Structure 1
Amino acid sequence: MKFKKYWLLLVLSIAAAILTACVENNDSAAPQGNSEGSSEGDTRTFKIAHVVQESHVWNATAVKFGEELSALSDGRLNVDIYPASQLGAEADMVQQIETGTVDFGFITNAYMSTREDSLNAWFMPYLFNNLEEAVAMRDSEEAKQMLEALSSQGLVGLDFAFAGNRHVLMKDGFAETPEDLKGKKIRIIGSPAMQSYWEKVGAGPTAMPLSEVYTSLQTGVIDGIDIDLDALATEKYYETAKYLTLTNQMTFPTVIVMSQKIYDELSPEDQDIVKQAMKTAVDWGVEEAVKREASNLETLKAAGVEVQESIDTAPFQAVTDEVRKEFSDKSDIVKSFIETVESK
């Protein structure tokens, strides 16, 4: 009996010694620094999601961000890009970003304006004569307020990038006056301001994803589309519709967002790296977008597209005034944004 007790005490002593050694070893291996986030020196690959093709300027900007991120972090931080709605519709993407299963999104301002009223400011009719004027508002106080407003949704608003201004491609004839558009089924991206504008013009705005546009034009489900030149060139909608009117009725940003959950996991140093890399990438991307406005137009002309390069916007003035008032009444940021642009 005494022999059994001796062996039992010996086994328990050995077990206690092993447990103590494991605990001490784990303590010494624990990462130093911010215990609530990642430490500087961690290796990480972020997921970026968006809806456009790989040839689109937004994807090129995401690629540039990955290059800058890797360079600034000495290869520790990298990205995987999921283009062309590979991770679902934008509503699904944003939900994944909120939960942290996707890290970044280049989400259309059209979709984001359904979640934050102030973002409709970018869609005020005929506010910008060209893309350069829109890009100049990227660093405005109002633009910063729009991004800050997204914090309540579990999102870090990082920046705005651009695809170009919006124009009209029709299967039959140009779109120079509201009469040319009355009763026409025009594909739009679902957005409060876009919906309001096209309804007031007298058209039949029809929201649908990019993946359905080509066949819808081809089969006559829609008569035309509200589109930027980069998407028009990369998606090749000109193969089914030949009449392009450079209306410049709105601009078209993407809202670049990051998961707040993921951002908070990063060390302060890595947070700074992310922000610096994104700014450099978007600075490059907006310049590229401006260049593409001209090159895409030449590409479209070479493909046989008939182009009406300028229109008199006076016939659209009444609609413009109505839409601007409607959304200024909903958001002080929209009102201030319009006033700032008009004062320049």
Structure 2
Amino acid sequence: MKRFKAIAAASVLSTAVLALSACGEDTASNETDGGETRTFKISHVTQESHVWHQTALKFGEELEALSDGRMNVDIYPASQLGQEKDMVQQLETGSLDFGFLTNGYMSTRQDSLNAWFMPFTFKNLEEAAALRKSAAAKQMLEELSSQGLLGLDFAFAGNRHILLKDGHVQSPDDLKGKKVRIIGSPAIQEFWEKTGAGPTAMPLPEVYTSLQTGVIDGIDIDLDALATEKYYENAENLTLTNHMTFPTVIVMSQQVYDSLSPEDQKIVKEAISKAVDWGVEEAIAREQKNLEELKKIGVKVEELKDPSSFEAITKEVTDKYSSQSEVIKSFLEEAKK
């Protein structure tokens, strides 16, 4: 990853750094004949091998190319800058420029984002990704402005499946009494409670050990995270359910965005769009690749043969949330087209 290389003299740089520190501004910037130069900070929760990190890298490449090298990125993966609540605070103050935030966390801050977690809405990742540019999805991004965030796009890790230490899942009965790690989201929590399982929200870094020690019996997981985080080392029974999808909400600090020239704002948006287009295709390609690799490793894979066994639960959840939010209602209607 290329970093910004100063052109000005060392004494000028020192003065600039001191000035930035006094203002509480963490983004490196300087003036050159070609305009302002910046190194933006990006943070997310996943490992460097994860598709979200690779999408962030692609964004850096596109940004550098479109800006003729004036704008670059530093990426802080695996919660290096804190948990997501900390990242949002940093984005609000402008000390962090971009966040690839899980829709799970963000749905606790904005109700309409629960739309992505309506059960059994998408049969595969392609169907989910197609809704990224829907009117309802764009409305979700616009609503983030109330939090001092500029919603830019949605990228994907994959659809959600169920990994258990013991047994597979063919109906809600197979989940009763199971302690299952979930993402802490209202809609996800409600779905899992209705299955009869004991849903347990916990940060990603705690999941591996919790499976290993028996604190939890299984996890709600996408294939990319399963492969990159190696949870299969402690639980080997994977049921392909496609019961939900799992986006990242890509946001920028509104404060930082407003500080850019109109030309640079346009470059940022174009670079994000190109990177996410690439990332979505990469995530779709990884679905099959990850599944094949997991089977080779020895993970015991079954498919959910009859999704209708979850039909009653699905209806309860979708009816409730669509009645509470016009955005969710619109999103589900678009998904059915």
Same structural fold, with TM-score higher than 0.5 when normalized by the shorter chain: yes
1:335 aligned counterpart, secondary structure: helix
Q: 2:46 aligns to what?
A: 52
Preserved contact between residue 116 and residue 244 of structure 2 (Cα < 8 Å): yes
1:217 match: 211
C-alpha displacement at 1:311, in angstroms? 2.2
Alignment partners' CA distance in 2, 1:58 and 1:327: 28
Instruction: Check the 8 A contact 1:135/1:162 in 2, yes or no.
Output: yes
Q: Deviations over 1:266-290 (max 9, x none)?
A: 0000000000000000000000000
Tell me the SS of whatever aligns to 2:131.
Answer: coil
Match for residue 10 of structure 2? none
| Residue number in structure 1 paired with 2:36 | 42
1:175 Cα shift?
1.4
In structure 2, the partner of 1:176 is 170
Counterpart of 1:66 in structure 2: which amino acid? G
2: CA distance, partners of 1:311 / 1:102? 45
Residue 138 of structure 1 aligns to a residue whose secondary structure is: helix
- Are 1:65 and 2:59 an aligned pair? yes
* Aligned counterpart for 1:312 among listed residues 299, 306, 309: 306
Unmatched segments (≥5 aa) in structure 1: 1-36
Deviation at 1:166, TM superposition (A): 0.2
Contact 2:30 2:38 in 1 (8 A): no
Q: 1:312-331 maps to which residues of 2 (within 5 A)? A: 312-331=306-325
1:193 has 2:187 as partner? yes
User: Displacement of 1:309 after TM fit?
Assistant: 2.5
Separation in 1, partners of 2:38, 2:75? 14
Query: What is the match of residue 15 of structure 2?
Result: none
- Residue 98 of structure 2 corresponds to residue 104 of structure 1: yes
Select the structure of larger CA radius of gyration: 1
- 2:83 is aligned with 1:95: no
- Matched with 2:222 is 228
Q: 1:85 aligns with which of 76, 79, 83?
A: 79
> Which residue among 189, 192, 197 is the counterpart of 1:203?
197
Helix, strand or coil for the counterpart of 1:275? helix
Deviation at 1:329, TM superposition (A): 1.8
What's the Cα RMSD here?
Answer: 1.2
For 2:142 and 2:224, locate their aligned partners in 1 and report how far apart those are by CA, in whole Å: 28
**AA in 1 matched with 2:288:** A
How far does the alpha carbon of each residue in 1:129-173 deviate from its partner, in whole angstroms, 9 at most, with x for none?
Answer: 000000000000000000000001000000000000000000000
In structure 2, distance between residues paired with 1:118 and 1:329: 11
- TM-score using structure 1 length: 0.88
Partner SS state of residue 174, structure 2: helix
Structure-2 residue corresponding to 1:337: 331
CA separation in 1, counterparts of 2:91 and 2:296? 40
Matched, 1:151 2:145: yes
Percent identity over paired residues: 72
Contact 2:30 2:37 in 1 (8 A): no
2:133 aligned counterpart, secondary structure: coil
User: Aligned partners of 1:330, 1:262: CA distance in 2, in Å?
Assistant: 33
Q: Which runs of 5+ in 2 are unaligned?
A: 1-28
SS at match of 2:246: strand
Shift >3 Å, 4+ stretches:
37-40
Asked whether the equivalents of residues 166 and 251 of structure 1 are also in contact (C-alpha less than 8 Å), the reply is yes
Q: Quote the Cα distance in structure 2 between the aligned partners of 1:309 and 1:233.
A: 18
> What is the distance in 2 between the residues matched to 1:228 and 1:336?
26
Q: What TM-score does the superposition give when structure 2 sets the normalisation length?
A: 0.90
- Quote the residue 2:241 is aligned against: 247
- Using the TM superposition, name which of 327-336 and 53-62 deviates more: 327-336
CA drift of 1:325 comes to: 1.1
Q: Is the 8 A contact 2:107 2:113 kept in 1?
A: yes
CA distance in 2 between counterparts of 1:337 and 1:311 reads 26
- Kept in 1: contact 2:169–2:304 (CA 8 A): no
**C-alpha distance in structure 2 between counterparts of 1:101 and 1:152, whole Å:** 18
Aligned-pair distance for 1:120? 0.4
**Which residue number corresponds to residue 255 of structure 2?**
261
